[in-house]
Amino acid sequence: MSEINTNVDESKANGDKTEEEEWAAAKVAFENLKAKKPLPPKPRFAVTIAVSSRTLFDMVKERKIYEEEGVEKYVAYQQQHEDEPLMPGASFPFVKALMNVNKRLRELYPEGQELFDIVLMTNNPAQIGVRLINSINHYDLTIERFCMTGGNSPIGYLKAYMTNLYLSKDSEKVQEAIEEGIAAATMFTPQKEIQLSDTQLRVAFDGDAVLFSDESEIIVKQHGLDTFFEHEKKYENKPLAQGPLKCFLEALGKLQRKFYAKNERMDCPIRTYLVTARSAASSGARVLKTLRSWGLEIDEALFLAGAPKGPLLQKIHPHIFFDDQMFHIQGAEELGTIAAHVPYGIGQKYHKGKLIEKTPKE
């Protein structure tokens, strides 16, 4: 014990600050800023959402320059236009909704650290950081943490940033993140705009291969619906294994309970939805019992029995909808839903129930 105290004393003597002292100093610095932006939460308490620059902002034009003219012309263009704010991208409404939840949490818990923390995670070179910062400030977004990797993959930094969810336009990076055990999805821009809630964050999840593992979906694909129904009835009381987005639902639930503790359940600014192709009577009980066994709640459970998800999602108006099947993603975005593809499980080998035949290599 005396040795530990000696080390602490030496640390102070050398001018080294403890983590608490560093955060206290940072808080003072933020409070002295004219902008009075709120101090980001400590990472170990926060729900950290990492978004790529191409999901946060519409960078289609800039991306085209990069692909057709190379990185030097791309950087030069960004610097020449750094005072022009980028237009909002697919994840922009989601990020704004996260900030609204933070505002409500700070009203209830002024000193609370359990908040959303948004990190800009991009492989852009640091030279274009000024345009990204200017765009973030233009829209009054609270994004203080950046990771700009200059062409290298940012995936290796996700765990260091304690990421709970990673959103990108790059499906390969998303796949890499999922393989690292991090909740991730590829964002798609809807084909038309719909009005989203300004006061409530709405998040919709598919079930199998998103919240849950793909174990039941494997049976559907390989043995058909009748065998699947028999299997789900037989194992109704056996919880499904967790899927790649279970941890994000868990994080949302943690923040929801902060509102419930203040008698704000009916006015909670977070609402979650399960939107599944499962049938309720034939295979719904197992998923509900699985959520219960995890100690998780879902606000609305919608069993569609194979019906298209797009029209129903159009009524929900989620800020983001997660699904592992691309045809559900496409159906959603056609009707204006912001959709995010989770490239996980056996469903990646199928399209509309049919096995995707790979062209043999010559």
Instruction: Check residue 27 and give its pLDDT.
Output: 63
Q: Which candidate, 316, 284, 99, places its Cα nearest to that of 197? A: 316
pLDDT of 4 higher than 50: no
Instruction: Check residue 356 and give its pLDDT.
Output: 60
Same domain assignment for residues 208 and 340: yes
Same domain assignment for residues 141 and 231: no
Average pLDDT, the chain: 89
Same domain assignment for residues 76 and 41: yes
Do the Cβ atoms of 170 and 340 come closer than 8 Å? no
Q: What is the pLDDT confidence band of residue 119, given thresholds at 50, 70 and 90? A: very high
Least confident of 1-10, 251-260, 300-309, 337-346: 1-10
Q: How many domains does the chain have?
A: 2
Q: What does DSSP say about strands 350-351 and 354-355: parallel, antiparallel, or unpaired?
A: antiparallel
Q: What is the C-alpha separation between 175 and 178, in angstroms, rounded?
A: 5
pTM for this prediction: 0.86
Q: What is the C-alpha separation between 344 and 184, in angstroms, rounded?
A: 10
Same domain assignment for residues 182 and 205: no
In this structure, what token pair is assigned to residue 120? 């800009």
Can you give the CATH number for the domain in which 119 is found?
3.40.50
* 28 located within any domain: no
Q: Could you count the other beta carbons within 10 Å of the beta carbon of residue 336?
A: 18
Do the Cβ atoms of 203 and 101 come closer than 8 Å? no
* 130 located within any domain: yes
Least confident of 18-32, 52-66, 120-134, 292-306: 18-32
Instruction: Check residue 33 and give its pLDDT.
Output: 53
pLDDT of 26 higher than 80: no
* 191 located within any domain: no
Least confident of 126-135, 199-208, 348-357: 348-357
Q: Which candidate, 248, 289, 292, places its Cα nearest to that of 270? A: 248
Q: How distant, in Å, are the alpha carbons of 154, 166, 246, 322 from that of 176?
A: 10, 11, 18, 17
* Average pLDDT estimate for 98-116: 95
Same domain assignment for residues 218 and 292: yes
Of 161, 186, 211, the residue that ends a domain is 186
Q: Which candidate, 123, 50, 140, 125, places its Cα nearest to that of 88? A: 140
- Catalytic option among 206, 208, 214, 324: 206
* 27 located within any domain: no
* 167 located within any domain: yes
Same domain assignment for residues 132 and 223: no
Same domain assignment for residues 142 and 217: no
Q: Which structural domain, as residue segments, surrounds residue 302?
A: 201-355
| 347 secondary structure, DSSP code | G
Instruction: Check residue 2 and give its pLDDT.
Output: 40
Instruction: Check residue 357 and give its pLDDT.
Output: 55
* 140 located within any domain: yes
Q: What is the pLDDT confidence band of residue 353, given thresholds at 50, 70 and 90? A: low
pLDDT of 17 higher than 70: no
Residue 206: active-site member: yes
Residue 171 buriedness (CB in 10 A; 0-12 / 13-18 / 19+): middle
Q: What is the C-alpha separation between 159 and 342, in angstroms, rounded?
A: 19
Beta-strand ranges (E) seen in the chain are: 47-51, 57-58, 87-88, 116-122, 145-148, 163-168, 184-188, 201-205, 270-276, 300-303, 320-323, 339-341, 350-351, 354-355
Q: Which candidate, 332, 337, 283, places its Cα nearest to that of 305? A: 283
Q: What is the pLDDT confidence band of residue 34, given thresholds at 50, 70 and 90? A: very low
Q: What is the C-alpha separation between 271 and 127, in angstroms, rounded?
A: 39
Instruction: Check residue 113 and give its pLDDT.
Output: 92
